[in-house]
């Protein structure tokens, strides 16, 4: 058997590689600099960890996610792979010991924050030791065009140059536009790199935008079906977190909260309880999630719209990392747009940055109103050439949706934008079409334009929603200044001249069934017990999909357990007997 596959089975318990993994590993083993753009949950860590075990020398993993390091290292050590990390949680003695272990080869993989590179730059024994690979995780952080730019990432290329024998450099990210990909190659000073783009889409992750629903009612209804499953609910404000936390707590839901207004000790305790499956749901601002490697998060709910597509993609990426089905719901309301525009004006003083943030916000708003495949929209945003629909979002799957011809309504709206000389935003245009008698409208003589009141059968809200839909579908353009204005474009004129028809789909919310298994809960309980004994998160012991396979296979012998995905030799020796006994005891109870 191929050595790579032997390592894959022995340490990770998998029989085969996922798409792209083997090619990336081979490029690194051939000592070719490599860039890999891989969706969250596609197994990018394995792509640099397996070469680390096969190359002569150690591997340094540079990552900004300090909270992730311990989990990754715990997981590697549990599998029998010697690894360590260096970050601010360690004292000088511990740091010195770990550096020495790496130098003498007793530790094969070392995780470092980029800020730590400077201190190692002047450590001659370290810089002249056998360093075979530098793996740069979250490589988009090197680019100022990326959504999470880190200045310290720009020091990586100088650090690599200072190493006595240049190692192979591998760079990994889940999100990168064309500009960011170019920056990764240039700013990391990669030499003729191999490039692998696995695409952004994740076939196991269902996307849905929910509009016109009471958010609190939706949340309570949804969580009722998701008992004992892990999920994260994101809010745009701390106040939203606190208010909804109190509401759900009173209703008896097993929830925790997390935001920057809480004490660090309280935040850490909440995070640990969530990882260790002592609470089911986390209510949080975007402060929570970076570095969370919990693989069995089954859903993400955005209670408020995120500020841009990058943030949205990063946050939904925390669901379904184990490859099992997961869901991401975005609960949209008009108020979300105004909150973000207000925060944008308050927080950014530089005009060019405000304009860029405004463009990104409009793309996010368009996402919430589009009729197109949601995954396809995200692919287009990140310059990915993928013209296929996903069949895993509400726009693709909901067969109850009906296409309605809205060409006449569209012509009325576009004509109104023209009649007011493209000098106003959506609110004013909607008010003119409704026939509002507001003082501002009359003072500006907008009640005299020919389109005044021609849509008075509709509410202002309905007209606004149609304007947002037309913007999302490219029939209108919105400027990105402090006061966004509606502008006509080529598509607008095609509709006005009768050369193009416009169709809009209705949206219907669809319910999904929750997982329920008595044996699965027994195995989860055993997993938690072992995790507490070893002081590691439960998923380090086994992932959910491994427990689910155990429920299906019902192994009686170690050989049968070894055939299950996620069970390697080391874990078989450590945990096998306890899990087999738990399964057989549970079956015995049922048969009595």
In a domain, 468, yes or no: yes
- Asked which of 149, 171, 197 is the last residue of a domain, the reply is 197
Q: Which residues pair with 85 in a beta bridge?
A: 111
Distinct helix (H) and strand (E) counts, the chain: 27, 17
Same domain, 470 and 340: no
The CA-atom distances, in angstroms, between 406 and each of 219, 317, 397, 429 are 32, 35, 22, 17
511 compared with 33, residue with greater pLDDT? 33
Q: How confident is the model at residue 413 (pLDDT cuts 50, 70, 90)?
A: very high
How does pLDDT run across 444-463, given as a tens digit for each residue? 999 999 999 999 998 998 89
**3-class SS letters over 436-476:** CCCHHHHHCCHHHCCCCCCCCCCCHHHHHHHHHHHHHCCCC
- What is the CATH number for 277? 3.40.50.300
Helix runs in 497-557, H state only: 518-534, 538-541, 544-553
The CATH code of the domain that includes 453 is 1.10.10.10
The CA distances from residue 337 to 65, 145, 208, in Å, are: 30, 23, 18
Do residues 135 and 230 share a domain? Answer: no
Assigned domain for 529 exists = yes
Query: CB count, 10 Å around CB of 232?
Result: 25
With respect to residue 219, please indicate whether it lies within any of the assigned structural domains.
Answer: yes
Residue among 422, 511, 440 at smallest CA distance from 221: 511
541 and 474 share one domain: no
Asked which of 473, 505, 537 is the last residue of a domain, the reply is 505
Average pLDDT over residues 2-28: 92
Percent of the chain with pLDDT over 90: 48
* Burial bucket for residue 530 (CB in 10 Å: 0-12, 13-18, 19+): middle
Measured between alpha carbons, how far is 589 from 592 in angstroms, rounded to an integer?
A: 5
78 shares its domain with 115: yes
Give pLDDT tens digits for 331-376. 998 788 777 777 776 665 666 667 777 888 889 999 998 988 999 9
Phi, psi values for residue 57, rounded to 5°: 125, 180
Q: How confident is residue 29, by pLDDT bands cut at 50, 70 and 90?
A: very high
pLDDT above 80: residue 498: yes
pLDDT in the model for residue 220 = 87
CATH at residue 571 = 1.10.150.80
Residues spanned by the domain of 425: 403-505
Band of the pLDDT at 377, cuts 50, 70, 90? very high
Look at residue 512 and tell me if it is in a domain: no
Place 510 in a pLDDT band, splitting at 50, 70 and 90: very low
Q: Are residues 246 and 107 in the same domain?
A: no
Q: Which residues contact 562 (CB under 8 A, 6 or more apart)?
A: 13, 569, 572
Same domain assignment for residues 294 and 192: no
Q: Identify whether residues 382 and 411 lie together within a single domain.
A: no
Structure tokens that stand for 182 in this block? 């170019």
Q: Determine, yes or no, domain membership for 462.
A: yes
Residue 94 included in any domain: yes
Q: Do 57 and 174 sit in the same domain of this protein? A: yes
Please say whether the beta carbons of 427 and 464 come within 8 A: yes
| Average pLDDT for 73-78 | 90
Same domain assignment for residues 175 and 219: no
Domains of the chain: total: 4
Mean pLDDT for 377-395 is 85
Largest CA distance in the chain: 84
pLDDT higher than 50, residue 592? no
pLDDT digit string, tens, across residues 258-299: 998 888 889 889 988 998 889 999 999 886 765 567 889 999
Is residue 21 domain-shared with residue 95, that is, in the same domain? yes
pLDDT in tens, 460-484: 988 988 998 899 888 999 987 667 8
Question: Does residue 510 form part of some domain?
Answer: no
Count of residues making up the chain: 592
Q: Do 585 and 532 fall into the same domain?
A: yes
Per-residue pLDDT of 232-254, as tens digits, reads 999 988 999 999 999 999 988 99
Count of alpha carbons within 13 Å of 456, Cβ hemisphere only? 8
Q: Is 358 a member of any domain?
A: no
Q: State yes or no: pLDDT of 529 exceeds 50.
A: yes
Residue 110: is it exposed, middle or buried by C-beta count within 10 angstroms (0-12/13-18/19+)? buried
Same domain, 330 and 467: no
Global confidence as pTM = 0.69
């Amino acid at each position: 058997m191929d050595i790579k596959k032997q390592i894959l089975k022995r340490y990770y318990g998998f029989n085969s590689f996922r798409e792209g993994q083997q090619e990336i590993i081979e490029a690194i083993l051939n000592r070719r600099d490599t860039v890999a753009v891989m969706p969250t949950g596609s197994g990018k860590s394995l792509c640099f960890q397996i070469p680390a075990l096969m190359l002569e020398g150690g591997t340094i993993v540079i990552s900004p996610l300090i909270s992730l390091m311990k989990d990754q290292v715990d997981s590697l050590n549990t599998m029998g792979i010697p690894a360590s990390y260096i970050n601010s949680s360690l004292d000088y003695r511990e740091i010195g010991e770990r550096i020495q272990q790496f130098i003498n080869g007793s530790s094969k993989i070392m995780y470092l924050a980029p800020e730590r590179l400077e201190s190692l730059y002047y450590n001659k024994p370290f810089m002249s030791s056998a360093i075979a690979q530098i793996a740069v995780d979250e490589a988009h952080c090197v680019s100022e065009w990326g959504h999470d730019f880190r200045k310290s990432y720009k020091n990586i290329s100088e650090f690599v140059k200072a190493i006595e024998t240049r190692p192979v450099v591998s760079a990994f990210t889940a999100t990168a536009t064309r500009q960011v990909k170019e920056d990764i190659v240039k700013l990391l000073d990669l030499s003729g790199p191999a490039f692998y783009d696995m695409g952004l889409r994740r076939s196991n992750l269902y996307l849905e935008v929910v509009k016109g629903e009471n958010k609190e009612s939706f949340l309570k209804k949804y969580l009722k079906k998701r008992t004992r499953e892990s999920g994260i609910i994101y809010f745009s404000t701390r106040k939203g977190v606190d208010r909804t936390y109190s509401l759900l707590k009173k209703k008896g839901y097993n929830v925790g909260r997390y935001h920057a207004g809480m004490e660090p000790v309280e935040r850490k305790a909440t995070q640990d309880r969530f990882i260790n499956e002592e609470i089911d749901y986390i209510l949080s601002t975007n402060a929570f999630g970076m570095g969370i490697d919990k693989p069995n998060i089954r859903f993400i709910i955005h209670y408020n719209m995120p500020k841009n597509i990058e943030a949205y993609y990063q946050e939904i990426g925390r669901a379904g990392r184990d490859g099992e089905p997961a869901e991401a719901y975005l609960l949209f309301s008009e108020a979300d747009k105004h909150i973000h525009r207000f925060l944008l004006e308050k927080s950014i003083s530089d005009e060019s940055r405000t304009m860029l943030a405004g463009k990104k916000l409009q793309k996010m708003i368009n996402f919430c109103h589009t009729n197109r495949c949601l995954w396809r929209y995200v692919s287009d945003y990140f310059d990915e050439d993928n013209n296929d629909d996903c069949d895993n979002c509400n726009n693709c799957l909901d067969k109850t949706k009906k296409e309605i011809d809205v060409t006449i309504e569209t012509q009325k709206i576009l004509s109104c934008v023209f009649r007011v000389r493209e000098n106003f935003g959506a609110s004013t245009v909607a008010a003119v079409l409704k026939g509002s008698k507001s003082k501002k409208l009359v003072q500006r003589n907008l009640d005299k334009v020919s389109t005044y009141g021609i849509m008075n059968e509709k509410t202002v809200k309905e007209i606004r929603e149609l304007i947002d839909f037309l913007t999302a579908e490219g029939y209108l353009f919105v400027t990105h200044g402090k006061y966004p204005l509606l502008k006509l474009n080529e598509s607008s004129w095609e509709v006005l001249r009768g050369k193009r028809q416009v169709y809009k789909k209705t949206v219907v919310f669809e319910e999904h069934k929750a997982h329920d298994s008595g044996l699965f809960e027994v195995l989860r309980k055993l997993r938690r017990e072992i995790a507490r004994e070893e002081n590691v998160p439960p998923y380090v012991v086994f992932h959910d999909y491994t427990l689910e396979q155990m429920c299906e296979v019902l192994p009686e012998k170690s050989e049968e357990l070894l055939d299950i995905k996620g069970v390697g030799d080391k874990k078989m020796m450590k945990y096998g007997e306890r899990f087999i006994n738990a399964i057989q005891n549970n079956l015995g109870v049922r048969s009595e």
